[in-house]
């Protein structure tokens, strides 16, 4: 799979034939998060019309085959912390920090300016 050819939402969907409709919606919504911004599992769930499915969103992102083009590292918990296993969470924290997202005490410093 050539991730360099992913430029539009349609490209994301086309490269995910084995994923459920829910997983595709999650990955497309995540694909839209711009550099220097973050979203939360809850916000992604709301954007795809499943406001109570934040845990399912996390599970879908855990199986993201299109990282880093679909930037699942830009999705955090509502409190700005990074979920999942400690080593992976630390890696995601370093990535978003490198992208210009403000970090304070190991968490994203949440504000309207950086929330997508």
Give the active site residues: 72
- Check if the beta carbon of residue 28 is closer than 8 Å to that of residue 8: no
CA separation for the pair 92, 36 (Å, rounded)? 13
> In this structure, what token pair is assigned to residue 64?
């993201």
- In 3D space, the residue among 94, 75, 83, 84 whose CA is nearest the CA of residue 26 turns out to be 75
- In 3D space, the residue among 56, 59, 55, 61 whose CA is nearest the CA of residue 75 turns out to be 61
């Amino acid at each position: 799979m050539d991730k360099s050819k992913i430029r539009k939402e349609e490209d994301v969907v086309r490269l995910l034939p084995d994923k459920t409709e829910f997983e595709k919606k999650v990955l497309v919504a995540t694909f839209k998060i711009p550099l220097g911004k973050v979203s939360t599992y809850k916000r992604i769930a709301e954007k795809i019309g499943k406001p109570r499915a934040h845990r399912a969103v996390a599970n879908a992102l855990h199986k993201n085959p299109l990282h880093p083009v679909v930037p699942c590292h830009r999705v955090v918990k509502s409190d700005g912390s990074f979920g999942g296993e400690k080593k992976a969470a630390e890696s995601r924290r370093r990535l978003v920090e490198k992208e210009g997202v403000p970090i304070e005490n190991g968490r994203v410093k949440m504000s309207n300016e950086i929330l997508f």
